[in-house]
């Protein structure tokens, strides 16, 4: 559960975009991501940069982040937003379903789902959601990419199309460094 249902000072309520506004916003965000990740092959640097620039340009990105596949579960990875759940079992939530089915999940109203099994409400302000599987160069599932909006019906096929292309481009690369020593 999030620390509080009240939106913290650093987060504004989501604002939906029409199709043209959405495409323009994604074009801007993806230009920034491409420019900043040229030659980058570190998983966590990529994830952190993608979170930051998508949240900068898409006004309905209330919570954005990655859950990383670790020992058969999903472990919270780099994200921006209120407190995210730390561990998610593949059998639970929208994230678990995206991982199990290896398919993008778009949810217009998360509160229409069975809470706890079909949807996990890390933050009560979350109203709609998209979750995409993330694959490496060998088509192994390495993470899921999760975006929540604080208003309903924020996500559609345009989000799916742009995000699937972005995630394939940035993570299905043979040289991806997925861990590093802090020594
Ligand atoms: N809503 C997700 C859980 C992650 S929080 O949204 C960050 C789910 O149902 O899997």
Q: Where are the domains of the chain?
A: 19-178
Backbone angle region of 174, left / alpha / beta, with phi > 0 → left and psi within -120 to 50 → alpha: alpha
Q: Give residue 10's pLDDT.
A: 78
What is the Cα–Cα distance from 74 to 59, expressed in whole angstroms?
A: 26
Q: Give residue 3's pLDDT.
A: 54
CATH of 19-178, one of 3.40.50.300, 3.40.1390.30, 3.30.450.40, 3.50.30.30: 3.30.450.40
CA of 115 to the centre of ligand 1 (A): 10
Q: Give residue 173's pLDDT.
A: 84
- 93 — phi, psi (to 5°)? 70, 175
pTM of the model: 0.94
Higher pLDDT, 11 or 177: 11
Higher pLDDT, 177 or 110: 110
Mean pLDDT to the nearest integer, 70-92: 96
Task: For tokens 């949807």, name the residue.
Answer: 119
Mean pLDDT to the nearest integer, 49-63: 97
Residue by residue, DSSP assigns 19-45 as HHHHHHHHHHHHHHHHHHSTT--BHHH
DSSP, collapsed to helix, strand or coil, labels residue 10 as: coil
> Does ligand 1 lie within 6 Å of residue 88's CB atom?
yes
Q: Give residue 181's pLDDT.
A: 57
Q: Give residue 1's pLDDT.
A: 45
> Does ligand 1 lie within 6 Å of residue 63's CB atom?
yes
Q: Give residue 41's pLDDT.
A: 92
Q: Give residue 180's pLDDT.
A: 57
What is the Cα–Cα distance from 171 to 156, expressed in whole angstroms?
A: 22
Report residue 81 as tokens: 């937003």
Contact by Cβ (8 Å): 160, 104: yes
> Does ligand 1 lie within 6 Å of residue 69's CB atom?
no
Using the predicted structure, report yes or no on whether residue 60 has a pLDDT greater than 70: yes
């Amino acid at each position: 559960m999030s620390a509080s249902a009240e939106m913290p000072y650093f987060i504004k309520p989501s604002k939906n975009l029409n199709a043209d506004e959405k495409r323009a916003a994604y074009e801007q965000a993806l230009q920034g991501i491409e420019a900043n990740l040229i030659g980058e092959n570190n998983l966590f640097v990529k994830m952190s940069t993608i979170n930051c620039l998508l949240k900068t340009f898409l006004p309905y990105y209330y919570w954005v982040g990655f859950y990383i596949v670790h020992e058969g579960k999903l472990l919270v990875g780099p994200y921006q937003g209120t407190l995210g759940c730390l561990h998610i079992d593949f059998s639970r939530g929208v994230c678990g379903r995206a991982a199990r089915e290896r398919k993008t999940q778009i949810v217009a109203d998360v509160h229409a789902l069975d809470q706890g099994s079909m949807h996990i409400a890390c933050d009560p302000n979350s109203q709609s959601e998209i979750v995409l599987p993330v694959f490496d160069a060998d088509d192994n599932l390495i993470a899921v990419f999760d975006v929540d909006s604080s208003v309903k019906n924020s996500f559609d096929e345009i989000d799916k199309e742009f995000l699937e292309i972005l995630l394939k481009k940035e993570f299905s690369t043979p040289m991806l460094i997925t861990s590093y020593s802090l020594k």
